[in-house]
A and B are shown apart, each in its own frame.
Chain A
Amino acid sequence: MTSTPFKLTRRGFTAVGALAAGGILVPSASARPRITFPRLAQDTPKAGGTMIYGLSTDPSNFEPHVSTGAASTSVKLMCYSTLLTYNADNELIGDLAEEFGWIDDTTYQLKIREGVTFHDGSSLTVDDVIFSLERIRNPDTAATNASYFNEVTDIKAGDGNTVNLTFNRPFAAFSFILANTNSYILSQAWIESGVDPKVEMMGTGPFIFKERVPGVSITLEKNPNYFLEGLPYLDGITYQPMPDDTTRMTALRSGSVDFADYVPYTQMDIITNDPNLTFASDSISGFGWVGFNHEMDPVSDVNVRLAFAHGMNRETMVTTAFAGHGAPITGGLIPEGMLGYAPDLEGTFAGDYEKAKSLLDTAGHNPLDIDMVSTSTYSVIQRPAEAAQAELENAGINAKLELQEWLTFRQTVLDGTFPTHSWGTAIDYGDPDFLWNYMHSTGNMAKQFRFNNPDMDALLEQGRFETDEALRDEIYQEVQVKAAEVVPWVYSIRRTQGEAMQNFVMGYTHLPSWNPITMREIWLDK
């Protein structure tokens, strides 16, 4: 059991040195990921002022337990709180939980902070926490994090304002699930009063939801009773949805907004070179891949999949797709600094066209004409798809790329009508267990790949249910070595993603976990 402020300091974490609990820490020089922090405030933070936030998407809704995208997360996280969260060093700390951790192999205990009130003035109780966790587990909620509670057999109140979760087996990454932005704690009375949480928000967060005018603005006001003394500094945040990238960046550059999320790669150099602005980003979490339908020929042949893996020069792809704003993935997907990082794998897939051709020869498919599907809805997916197509041509793979609208594309991949696809997303949380989703036969993405490998399943299960961090480190390195052999999918490049703000916006830190919790520490130096 640890106490606030925490790093998660269990034995295993120290065994892997600088990994710490946040999972993703300092980027490697070789992979060239980049975390850019805004200037650190030199002066005492000033209270007051309303920040205007240019939001890349008008949030579809505010349902607290279903992911509705990064833009709505930055709104919801300011109104709700999670049990755990991250500090500015990306280390896991308690938020509504004062203390947290495993008290034995199958019991995870949370000591709930006392004196916390909801925006309606009611007190946070252990029952609210249990209700919220049960709501996530309830299939009717269709919560994003529901599957992570599969091993939970019981949730009940313990002594002294604690909540105990009983597991069938220990789930090593569970703390990250509680820090995830879809694990908010809600007021049981409020939910049961019949409100629609898609439309309204009421939590224990640093800001109180005041008003939403669809397509125009979302207004939050300071929560004067926030449980962290002195926070927030701002009187309020006004979010203005600006889905057009040029409009949003122009509004920022002209001073109409103070802060803007999702800086498109086409504007990164402009923003970086603007003396009035600060760009905070990472090149770690967002990544792209070429995926397969393992049940279709010829990609059911591992030699063909390996040809894809070797047939792309990732350095070139970063330039082609994102004008250099990203990083190649030439080894395993787990980035340096996260548990399970495999340094020995670096350079394995540096791009070797001849090797790819030779593998195609072995498979009897040189040259290879193949269909590939991707989406035209998001440029961060379309651009790497086009870059992959261009690269693969050098290796004798002529991918006929079809671009579809987003949900059509999703349906196509689900139906498995194309042998290959090109897609991209972000690392779900800072523990290598995130690979389960893509490589374990029960993982939602693995199912779409039609990938099923008993050895890989066994390794991922060992990793998930092992408590010794040093052992887990070894297991996940092995997972990636195995992945390099059987090629469930081919990850290609990481993309730079970040936010930009006026220089007078202080106190914000971009976290590579993409958790925007440090927004509660923002103050305006003007």
Chain B
Amino acid sequence: MIQFITRRMITLVGQVLLVATIVFLMLRLVPGDPARSVLGETASEEQIATMRHKLGIDRPVWEQYVDWLGNAVRGDLGTSIISGRDISSDIASRFGNSAELIVISVVLSLIIAIPLGTIAALKRNQFIDVALSSIAMLGLSLPGFVVGTVLVLLFGLKWRILPQSRFVEFGDDPMAHIKLLILPSITLAIGNAAVILRMMRSSMLEVLRQDYVRTARAKGLNEARVVRAHTLRNAINPVVSLVGLEVATLLGGMVIVEQIFNWPGLSTLLMSGVISRDYPVVQGVVLVIAIVTIIVNVIVDITYALLDPRIRLT
């Protein structure tokens, strides 16, 4: 296990370097000038040239790359072209907010989807299976911005149970923070739960057809024990893999939910960086997302091994 983790950490360096290089180069291929973004639409060409020089983006690309990479290795992601703020501290505060939302929504979706997916599989083609599959389909079909907006209108405006308000840190006001967390978590969990439910159902159906399940039943084990001890544990591996992918995707990809619920996460930072061509911000955020994605995948592999002793991490 330790060997496995060490090897993965070594390859992580290569993978992150590759991602960082690709992002660095691709950003510079995208049309649109950061200097124009800083100065606004009426800036003259002379002012644009002055600003490009000030920002150091008129230097050769390789020179910019070497500088940026050298600083990044030392843990300095630089300052934002647009806001002038330290990128590392901005990422740190946003990362915590995103991680919190992701973890809670994923846990919520697992709590909903694993039992329901199991029930749907056990009641295959019966009313409850059809009903659950239909609900899952609905959850999959409804985009996050629709679910989020409807929740805001209902809970924030009509019933005024969870009105939109200023983001507060958990440490400053735990109750207010938890109230803020409810609607975005539900919005994210609905989509995730639908995917996991369908995966759980199909995975369970696959396992239920296996010989050892038939043998377990033939031995006279009751159905609950068959499901718990022989089926569920074997059916859950694809779900673990799916959750790993979801976490990585959500980290940089929940901009709509963050915007609707005014949640200051990593996605909105990334999005504003892309829109304003704030190169250092985009590079920094992508770097962090790449590292986290790889780490999450390692954790997924380890979880596999823990769940299924037949898997050896070598």
User: Residues on A close to B: CB < 8 A?
Assistant: 52, 58, 60-61, 63, 66-69, 139-140, 142, 144, 146-147, 196, 198-199, 213-217, 238, 240-244, 246-247, 250-251, 253-257, 377, 405-408, 410-412, 425, 428, 437, 444-445, 447
Q: Which residues of B contact A216 (CB under 8 A)?
A: 166-167, 264
Contact call B165/A199, Cβ cutoff below 8 A: no
- Stretch binding the partner chain, chosen from B47-55, B56-64, B111-119: B47-55
Q: Is B42 an interface residue (CB 8 A)?
A: yes
Determine how close the nearest CB of chain B comes to the CB of A416; give it in whole angstroms: 13
Residues A246 and B152 in contact, CB atoms below 8 Å apart: yes
How many Å lie between the Cα of A251 and that of B83 in the bound state?
Answer: 26
| Complex contacts, B167 vs chain A, CB 8 Å | 215-217
Cα A273 to Cα B288 with chains together (Å):
47
Residues in A whose Cβ lies below 8 Å from that of B43: 142, 144, 444
B90 pairs with A214, CB closer than 8 A: yes
Does any Cβ of A come within 8 Å of B75's Cβ? Answer: no
Residue of A nearest to B40 (CB): A67
B32 touches A246 (CB 8 A): no
Q: Does B202 reach chain A (CB closer than 8 Å)?
A: no
**A52-B166, A250-B156 known; A61 vs B44 contact (CB < 8 Å):** no
| Complex contacts, B41 vs chain A, CB 8 Å | 410, 425
B218 within 8 A of A: no
CB of A142 within 8 A of CB of B51, answer yes
B100 at the interface (CB under 8 A from A): no
Known: A240-B262, A244-B259. 4 other contacts (CB 8 A): A142-B38, A142-B47, A250-B156, A256-B164
With an 8 Å Cβ cutoff, the count of chain B residues facing the other chain is 49
The yes or no answer to B304 lying at the interface (CB within 8 A) is no
State whether A410 touches B32 (Cβ < 8 A): yes
Give the residue among B41, B156, B167, B272 with the most A Cβ atoms within 10 A: B41
B260 to chain A, nearest CB (A): 5
In the complex, the chain B residue whose C-beta lies closest to that of A52 is: B166
B42 engages A445 (CB within 8 Å): yes
Q: Which residues of A contact B269 (CB under 8 A)?
A: 214-215
From residue A271, how far is it (CB to closest CB) to chain B in Å? 13
B275:A377 contact, CB within 8 angstroms: yes
Say yes or no: is B109 at the interface (Cβ < 8 Å to chain A): no
What CA separation (Å) do A346 and B134 show in the bound complex?
A: 59
B163 touches which of A256, A408, A412 (Cβ 8 Å): A256
Q: Decide: B32 and A411 in contact? CB cutoff 8 A.
A: yes
Chain B residues near A144 (CB-CB < 8 A): 39-40, 42-43
Question: Is B136 engaged at the interface, CB distance under 8 Å to the other chain?
Answer: no
A425 to B37, CA, bound (A): 15
- B82 within 8 Å of A (CB atoms): yes
Interface code B154-197, partner A: CB below 8 Å = 1, 0 otherwise? Answer: 00110010011111000000000000000000000000000000
- Are B94 and A60 interface neighbours, CB within 8 A? no
Contact indicator B40/A66 (Cβ below 8 Å): yes
Min distance, Cβ B135 to any Cβ of chain A, angstroms: 25
User: Given that A198-B84, A214-B264, A215-B94 are known contacts, is A251 also in contact with B39, CB under 8 Å in the complex?
Assistant: no
Give chain B residues whose Cβ lies under 8 Å from the Cβ of A69: 40
Which of B48, B83, B262 contacts A198, CB < 8 Å? B83
The reply on B153 being an interface residue by CB < 8 A is yes
Cα–Cα distance between A444 and B40 once the two chains are bound (Å): 11
Q: Is B31 an interface residue (CB 8 A)?
A: yes
User: What residues on A are CB-neighbors of B163 within 8 Å?
Assistant: 251, 254-256
Q: Do B83 and A61 have beta carbons less than 8 Å apart?
A: yes
From residue B113, how far is it (CB to closest CB) to chain A in Å? 28
Q: Could you tell me if A254 and B42 are in contact, using CB atoms closer than 8 angstroms?
A: no
Question: CB of B206 within 8 A of chain A?
Answer: no
* Given known A-B contacts A243-B259, A251-B163, A410 and B36 have beta carbons under 8 A apart: yes
Complex interface: chain A residues within 8 A of B39 (CB): 66-67, 142, 144
- B39, B90, B277: most-surrounded residue (chain A CB, <10 A): B39
The CA of A253 and the CA of B152, in the complex, are separated in Å by 12
Q: Is B46 interfacial (CB 8 A cutoff)?
A: yes
Docked complex Cα distance between A314 and B264 (Å): 40
> Closest CB-CB distance, B150 to chain A, in whole Å?
10
Please give the distance in Å from B256's CB to the nearest CB on chain A. 8
Residues of A within 8 Å of B54, CB to CB, are 140, 142
B231, CB-defined interface residue at 8 Å: no
- List the A side residues contacting B165 at CB < 8 Å: 251, 256
Which listed residue (A52, A198, A242, A428) contacts B42, Cβ 8 A?
A428
Does B268 have its Cβ within 8 Å of any Cβ on chain A? yes
**Shortest Cβ distance from residue A145 to the other chain B in the assembled complex, whole angstroms:** 9
* A408 to B165 Cα, complex, angstroms: 34
Q: Is the CB of B152 within 8 A of A247?
A: yes
Among residues of A, the one whose C-beta sits closest to the C-beta of B271 is A243
